[in-house]
Amino acid sequence: MSPTLRNRLIGVLIALAIFVADQLLKAYVLHGLEMQLGDSISFLPIFNFTLTHNYGVSLGMFTADSQEMRWILVGVTALIAVGVTVWMLRETKLADIAGLAMILGGAMGNIKDRYDYGYVIDFLDLHFGAFRPFLIFNIADAAITIGVVIILARSLFASDKGETEPASEAVES
């Protein structure tokens, strides 16, 4: 198996693992803990499970307040997921593939929620007293954010050391 094929397979497995972990933890919150909308369970002094429904996308923007908007969001996010999949399958470096796979796995988890329920299930609540550095989120949201940070960091700071330019010819004096 070529290194590129191996990296792409690892990417698919990362996306699948994130999707499965996201869905299993959401099922645990809903069915194992039997949480209802607004319920909160404290796990650590800085961390709760607080069940919310997110009808919008990133930071609650573009709220789907009708069935039409719900399906438009499902369609748009599915198209974005297809684009991320194509991009991931064109990459060769594992770091780039892993970042895209995290985005893809998270997108699939949130798309499934929106398809099944009409909203995304959020429940991870990190706080420091009354200060909350993030809105309530889920595993899929965290994976998407980390994946985007990886892609941005790689595009800004990584140099492809394996690719070299042809040597310049010496100029005679």
Which pLDDT does position 60 carry in this prediction?
59
Catalytic residue positions, numbered: 122, 141
Which pLDDT does position 158 carry in this prediction?
73
- In the predicted model, what is the mean pLDDT of residues 64-72? 86
Total-model pTM: 0.86
**Is residue 159 helix, strand or coil?**
coil
Inform me whether the pLDDT recorded for 31 exceeds 60: yes
Inform me whether the pLDDT recorded for 171 exceeds 70: no
pLDDT in tens, 109-134: 999 999 999 999 999 999 998 888 88
How many CA atoms lie less than 13 Å away from 42 in the CB half-sphere? Answer: 6
Q: Where are the domains of the chain?
A: 3-157
Structure tokens given for 62: 């573009």
